[in-house]
């Protein structure tokens, strides 16, 4: 289980929710639904003897659930994912509290302070009245996730070495990642009118500059830039007609070419850049960073697995998201 990514995903979701988003929903609900009316009071989950209700899981997953599509509300895998993330979150938070980890981030603190009202409270309402945000709960969640991030940093900061053999092995097994394609700096003249393109071609034959002819005859938006479309990659062509481009010589233009989607082009190449495999010494810092991150993720996964083994996690009741789906829709209408 790729837990490290999941924890970061939840953390980013909490932070980005401060700035909010609004999604449309075409399914109508007759009236507003009070979220308290849909919760199941009885416990559905126990972690090390502590009981958690459906409400606890809903509150934890609310920001994610708000953005889910209708099919996901009844998807068993989605439910399992949400429960798993809820358990993971509480295991890590309990451990952070046990270790008395204190988190302080200047940038985060500055961002939160910018949301304070003149009375000193946090104004964290998201978007419009479609979402009703509990400001106190939001601040608590952000602080809790910050503690977890600090714990993750503590877990992964020591004794992370990357050997030369590991670097070389990664470099050799990921050749495509470190290979750049051949590139051509291309300009073009385009029109759906063949007669107009033929006039442009005749002007080029008279010796007029390609950029000048493009400005006068091209119907493409880049005509104002002399038809310049920048560099294109040989291994990432958007059209087969670009094969012709790489057969041109520098400062030469092509014959009139018919586009696969209609219309006609004349291409011009001002520069070629040869691709090839990047040298190991050039990409070595990126490889080290990637391997370090992978080791951090592996270490965190082992750490969380150990927390699972020490804890007693039990699902004591089933639940679903059908009622919550209606609640979300009612808030968006």
Does the pLDDT value for residue 235 go beyond 60? yes
- Integer CA distances (angstroms), 135 to 38, 146, 253, in order: 21, 17, 62
List domains and CATH numbers for the chain.
Answer: 3-160+290-331 (1.10.4030), 182-274 (3.10.50.40)
Instruction: Give the C-alpha separation, 113 to 111, whole Å.
Output: 5
Q: Which residues on neighbouring strands pair with residue 180, listed in sequence order?
A: 276
- Integer CA distances (angstroms), 8 to 12, 220, 303, in order: 6, 43, 16
State the pLDDT confidence band at 219, using cuts at 50, 70 and 90.
very high
E strands present in the chain: 43-47, 50-53, 179-180, 183-191, 228-233, 252-253, 257-258, 264-273, 276-277, 313-315
The torsion region of residue 153 among left (phi > 0), alpha (psi -120 to 50) and beta comes to alpha
Q: Which residue has the higher pLDDT, 169 or 80?
A: 169
Does the pLDDT value for residue 14 go beyond 70? no
- The pLDDT assigned to 140 comes to 72
- The pLDDT assigned to 22 comes to 36
Report angle CA 166, 171, 173 to the nearest 5 degrees. Answer: 95
Q: What size, in residues, is the chain?
A: 333
- The pLDDT assigned to 304 comes to 87
State the pLDDT confidence band at 227, using cuts at 50, 70 and 90.
very high
Q: Which of 1-15, 63-77, 81-95, 97-111 has the lowest mean pLDDT?
A: 1-15
DSSP category for residue 240: T
Q: How many CA atoms lie within 13 A of 85 on its CB side?
A: 24
DSSP category for residue 220: S
Query: What is the share, in percent, of the chain residues with pLDDT greater than 70?
Result: 68
Alpha helices in 2-127 (DSSP H): 3-16, 54-66, 76-98, 106-113
Task: Report which secondary-structure segment, H or E, holds 281.
Answer: helix 280-310
- The pLDDT assigned to 119 comes to 54
Instruction: Give the C-alpha separation, 188 to 226, whole Å.
Output: 8
Listed ranges 48-52, 126-130, 190-194, 259-263; the one with the highest mean pLDDT: 190-194
- The pLDDT assigned to 308 comes to 86
- Chain centre distance of CA 143: 23
- The pLDDT assigned to 317 comes to 76
Does the pLDDT value for residue 256 go beyond 90? yes
pLDDT digits (tens, 9 = 90+) for 134-182: 556 666 777 788 888 888 888 877 778 899 999 999 999 998 889 888 8
Q: Which residue has the higher pLDDT, 241 or 11?
A: 241
- Integer CA distances (angstroms), 317 to 58, 90, 91, in order: 14, 18, 20
- The pLDDT assigned to 203 comes to 95
Residues 322-327 have a mean pLDDT of: 64
**Between the CA atoms of 226, 231, 237 and 239, what dihedral angle is there, to the nearest 10 degrees?**
0
Q: Which of 21-35, 149-163, 310-324 has the lowest mean pLDDT?
A: 21-35
What is the average pLDDT score of the chain?
77
- The pLDDT assigned to 254 comes to 93
Q: Which of 72-76, 136-140, 292-296 has the lowest mean pLDDT?
A: 136-140
Residues 74-85 have a mean pLDDT of: 80
State the pLDDT confidence band at 111, using cuts at 50, 70 and 90.
low
- The pLDDT assigned to 5 comes to 40
Q: Which residue has the higher pLDDT, 98 or 145?
A: 98
List the one residue out of 138, 113, 116 whose CA is nearest residue 126.
Answer: 138
- Integer CA distances (angstroms), 291 to 1, 85, 300, in order: 18, 25, 14
Query: What is the share, in percent, of the chain residues with pLDDT greater than 90?
Result: 29
């Amino acid at each position: 289980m790729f837990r490290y990514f999941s924890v970061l995903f939840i953390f980013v979701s909490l932070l980005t929710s401060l700035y909010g988003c609004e999604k449309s929903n075409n399914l109508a609900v007759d009236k507003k639904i009070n979220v308290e009316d849909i919760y199941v009071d009885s416990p559905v989950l126990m972690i090390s003897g502590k009981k958690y209700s459906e409400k606890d899981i809903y509150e934890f997953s609310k920001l994610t659930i708000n953005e889910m599509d209708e099919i996901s509300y009844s998807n068993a895998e989605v439910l399992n994912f949400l429960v798993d993330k809820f358990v993971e979150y509480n295991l890590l938070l309990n451990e952070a509290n046990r270790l008395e980890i204190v988190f302080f981030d200047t940038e985060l603190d500055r961002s939160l302070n910018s949301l304070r009202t003149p009375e000193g409270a946090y104004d964290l309402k998201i978007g419009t009245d479609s979402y009703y945000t509990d400001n106190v709960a939001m601040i608590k969640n952000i602080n809790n996730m910050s503690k977890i991030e600090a714990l993750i940093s503590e877990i992964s900061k020591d004794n992370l070495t990357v050997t030369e053999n590991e670097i070389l092995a990664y470099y050799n097994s990921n050749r495509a990642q470190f290979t750049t394609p051949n590139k051509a700096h291309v300009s073009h003249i385009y029109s759906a009118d063949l007669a107009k393109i033929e006039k442009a071609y005749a002007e080029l034959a008279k010796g007029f500059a390609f950029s000048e002819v493009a400005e006068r005859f091209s119907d493409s938006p880049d005509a104002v830039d002399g038809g310049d479309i920048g560099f294109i990659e040989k291994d990432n062509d958007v059209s087969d007609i670009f094969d012709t481009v790489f057969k041109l010589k520098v400062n030469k233009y092509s014959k009139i070419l018919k586009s696969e989607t209609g219309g006609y082009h004349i291409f011009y190449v001002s520069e070629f850049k040869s691709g090839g495999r990047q040298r190991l010494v050039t990409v070595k810092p990126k490889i080290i960073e990637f391997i370090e991150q992978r080791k951090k993720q592996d270490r965190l996964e082992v750490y969380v697995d150990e927390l699972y083994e020490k804890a007693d996690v039990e699902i004591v009741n089933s639940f679903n998201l059908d009622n919550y789906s209606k609640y979300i829709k009612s808030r968006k209408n």
